[in-house]
Amino acid sequence: MKFYNVKKREAVTISDGDCRKVVYKRKTSKGVQERYAVRAKDNDGTNLTKFLSKENFDKLACPMAKE
């Protein structure tokens, strides 16, 4: 999966085995908002996050992150 590393200022590729799926939930006035993302860590230690649509999130083979 491709991420953008802001420290390196370039796109990096991380294997699907090193990625974790995450669902961020927050309470709003209209209910609960859910945002779907994939998290990983680059070889230089930079935390990487990529937000996805629910459809693409469900298609991924990455494991879910522990809460």
pLDDT in tens, the chain (67 residues): 999 999 999 999 999 999 999 999 999 999 999 999 999 999 999 999 999 999 999 999 999 998 6
* Residue 64 placed within a domain: no
Read off the tokens for 62: 């990455």
Task: Residue 37: give the domain boundaries.
Answer: 2-59
Q: Tokens 């991380």 sit at which residue?
A: 14
* Residue 67 placed within a domain: no
> Counting Cβ atoms within 10 Å, is residue 38 exposed (0-12), middle (13-18) or buried (19+)?
buried
Name the pTM for this structure: 0.88
Residue 31 confidence (pLDDT): 97
Residue 56 confidence (pLDDT): 96
Residue 13 confidence (pLDDT): 96
Residue 66 confidence (pLDDT): 85
* Residue 65 placed within a domain: no
Alpha-carbon gap, residue 12 to 54, rounded angstroms: 23
* Residue 7 placed within a domain: yes
Give the number of domains in the chain.
1
